[in-house]
Every structure is written in structure tokens, then in C-alpha cells.
Amino acid sequence: MPYFRSAICLSFQVLLISALCLALLGCMENSVIDTLPSDNQRENVNALLLSATTNPGQKSLEHAKADITKTFGSVNRILLINYASLPNRRDAYAKRMKREFAQIGPGYTVKSLHAIPADQRLAAVRDTEGFYVSGGNTFLLLRELYGGDLLVAIRERVLQGAPYVGSSAGSNIAGQFIGTTNDFPITDIPTRRALGLMAANFNPHHPDQIAEEVEFGFRQYKIGEYVAHNQDEVVIGVTNPGMLRIQGNMLSLRGEGGTAYISYRGEKQTVSSLADGDISRAVESLRSR
């Protein structure tokens, strides 16, 4: 009889612990970033958001090489996050990115998060010196990062000063919300809230007004609708040659021939890399109208 009693007691304890673990996992998977970094935390943000990995007419990452090198500075150990790619393409993509980083500079060691065992991924994020988050489908990327609380851990590292370089989908998730991605929602996501490294949203591959009049009109219409409905949000659309640099509170446009189209409520401003590229000033002037 005492044997049965202790067996029941043990099973009850196992059940209780499992329930607690499940509840904890549930919370972790749903950790949502709903505040912007404090001024102190923001001072450490060092990010480069590419609109495109390949600028038409150039080799992959060629247009961004100098800015990537500058952003990473003395950092060599880079964690590649390629969850925007479909799962069966991630191995090949990681191989390609490792080759491309070898072209950017000889000192880089690139590890791909997808190839690290699931129970070690959080530690890999906390331990890395820098991030490269590649493009593909933004919904897929965000969904994978919500699993296992990776999104919150990445943000923590970036707010501690780890450089973050994103491209396209990887740039979308650096903003507050992914609402201005060009992608189809091929999967569900807990929320469209993302890393919130800046008080704005990104739109990659933004058409250029002069070169692509019709496409430009379509995109501006969609962004116009977005900012009319989301009155507190700023949207920064960047053309393929362009890159958005975040250094603390400073937002600037990099990339030869790049243009940024900034929208807030019903107002718009254009910033060109041929002029001073000062996006912060444009955002401030829109917000103060």
C-alpha cells in the first residue's frame, strides 16, 4: 500500500512539473516585444539594414561590402539567421553565405543558427558577437524566431552592442512591426511586432520614382493606406541600392544611388544618398508637423 501511495505521489509530481514546463514554454514562445528600447539601450544599437542582398548589375553583397565591414568593425564571430528561407533551402543558403563572407573579409567565422541543435540555439544567440539575418519570407522568419524565445534574445544582444546586419526580410524584422513587408503571409505569426530596434518600420525593394513610375505608385498607395491606419507609425521604404544605418538614435541612408521614401500619417519626405542621407532629420520633421 505505501508503495502505491508513493507511486501515485511521484506520478502527481511528474505531472505537475510537466505542466509547469509546458506553461513556461508557452509563455516563452509568445514573448512579444511591445516597447521601444530606452534611450540608454538605444545608444548601443549598431545596425545596417540592406534593402536587397543583390543590387541589380552587381554581385551578391557587393554594393554593401564596405558598410558591412564598417558595421561589424572588429567583430568576427557571426551568427547567420536564415530562417526566412524555406527549410529545405537553408543548408545550401548557409554554404553560399559562408563563401560570401569569406569574400567580404578573411577573418569572419559564420555559423548558421539553423544547423545548431534546437536546445543550444538560445545559448548561441547569447554568445555570438554579431548577427547577419538574411532575406526570404518575413512571416516565416518571424514565426521561427518567436519559437524558443529567440527574438527577445537577439534583441537583448543587439541592445548590448552586438552588430546586426539584415537584408530584406532580415531588415523588416529590425523595425517595430513587419506590417510593410512585401511578402505573402505563408504562415501564421503570433503578432506582427518585431525587434523594434528603431521607432519605424522598413519596406525593402521600394521602387524608384523616376525609374518605375507605375510600381512606385502602387507601393506608395499601399504605404499610404498603412500609415493612414497606423497613425503612430513611420514607414521607411528603401530602394535596392540603399541601406539604412542605425547608430543609436541616428538613422542614415547609405548605398550609392539609394533613396529612402519616408511616410508618416499623410505626409512624405524623400532622402537621397546623393544629399546628406539624414533620415533622422526627415523623420523628426514629419513627426513635428
The contact set with ligand ASP (CB under 6 A) reads: 84, 135-136, 138, 168-169, 172, 181-183, 204-205
Asked if 223 and 203 count as a contact pair (C-beta separation under 8 A), the reply is yes
Tell me how far, at minimum, the Cβ of 111 lies from ligand ASP, in Å: 21
Q: φ, ψ for residue 87 (rounded to 5)?
A: -50, -40
Instruction: Give CA–CA dist 235/213, Å, rounded.
Output: 20
Name the DSSP class of 87: G
Nearer to ligand ASP, 153 or 194 (CB): 194
Q: Which residue has the cell 528603431?
A: 198
From 205, 208, 272, 278, the catalytic residue: 205
**278 labelled catalytic:** no
Nearer to ligand ASP, 159 or 177 (CB): 177
Nearer to ligand ASP, 133 or 159 (CB): 133
Tell me how far, at minimum, the Cβ of 233 lies from ligand ASP, in Å: 16
Query: Angle CA(115)–CA(120)–CA(123) in degrees, nearest 5?
Result: 115
**114 labelled catalytic:** no
Give the type of residue at 220.
Q
Asked if 259 and 270 count as a contact pair (C-beta separation under 8 A), the reply is yes
Q: Which three cell numbers stand for residue 239?
A: 530602394
User: If you compute the radius of gyration of the chain from its CA atoms, what whole number of angstroms results?
Assistant: 21
Tell me how far, at minimum, the Cβ of 167 lies from ligand ASP, in Å: 7
Instruction: Give CA–CA dist 175/163, Å, rounded.
Output: 15
From 171, 183, 252, 263, the catalytic residue: 183
Nearer to ligand ASP, 135 or 163 (CB): 135
Tell me how far, at minimum, the Cβ of 153 lies from ligand ASP, in Å: 22
**168 labelled catalytic:** yes
- Active-site positions read 168, 183, 205
